[in-house]
Amino acid sequence: MSHNLEIFIDELSLYGALNSEDRESILMLPTMVHRVKKVVHLAQQGDVGDSLLLLTSGYALQQKNAGNGNRQISALNVRGDLLNLPSLFLAKFDSDVVALKNSEITFIPKLEFLTLFRKRPAIAYALFRMTLVDACLVRGQLLNLARRDARTRIAHFLCHHAERMGARGLMNSDSFDMPLTQAQIGNATGLTAVHVNRMLKSLVDDGLISHNGSSIYIANREKFMAAGDYYPQDLY
């Protein structure tokens, strides 16, 4: 499935330059492809597993579970994301990963990938930088949850998702797909579904966005980013 690994190469290339030998070594990795239905758990907190999970179509979300049964969405995954990268180096995975829509997952054996990691410094560098960016985004999410008002919080969350979609060629001009329901957006941003609905309406009424189902159109990118206290360098 070289096409699926080419998606991974495109993702890694966002974080570091890869030469032809790096790319060829990735394309030589053994893989297995699974197609899953929405709401299927792809990984669970405490999993060990022997494969990395590459999302090659569809969407997934990551969530942490509290002892009282509550859940917190910590990430929205798009095509090209490695869903369980920390488990390559840590004993166990720390989150649940759930398919949001019918999706395609490419399994890459960890042992072969670790061999590649040790032999190809450029690949190791890109992966290391990917984890650093992820850590930066976690700190940004903490700020968004703790120190921004509801309207800014929602706008920032949407800006971040739009920026990730655009970097991967998944936007249609100024439109992008938001697969989360308003209740799920509320979970990710610490708001109720009713509050999310009000804040989205405020952004629409101010002429910053419009939406039709899961499709969101950015009517005024500059003002939308300002409303979300968002800057593109937050991402890479």
Q: Model confidence over 201-229: pLDDT tens digits?
A: 999 999 999 999 999 999 999 999 999 99
CA distance 130 to 222: 27
DSSP E strand boundaries for the chain: 32-36, 41-43, 51-57, 60-65, 71-77, 96-99, 103-109, 175-177, 209-212, 215-218
Across the range 168-191, mean pLDDT stands at 95
CA distance 49 to 214: 33
- What does pLDDT average to over the chain? 94
2-132 and 148-234 in the same fold: no
Q: Does domain 148-234 have CATH number 1.10.10.10?
A: yes
Q: Quick one: tokens of 199?
A: 């804040």
What does the pLDDT read at residue 91? 84
Sequence ranges of the domains in the chain = 2-132, 148-234
Answer yes or no: is pLDDT of 236 > 60: no
User: Which three-class secondary structure state does DSSP give residue 39?
Assistant: coil
| Residues 22 and 71 sit within 8 Å (Cβ to Cβ) | no
pLDDT tens, position by position, 105-116: 999 999 999 999
What does the pLDDT read at residue 42? 93
72 pLDDT band, cuts 50/70/90, is: very high
CA distance 141 to 139: 5
pLDDT tens, position by position, 192-208: 999 999 999 999 999 99
pLDDT tens, position by position, 39-54: 899 999 888 889 999 9
Who has greater pLDDT, 196 or 235?
A: 196
Q: Does domain 2-132 have CATH number 2.60.120.10?
A: yes
What does the pLDDT read at residue 231? 86
235 pLDDT band, cuts 50/70/90, is: low
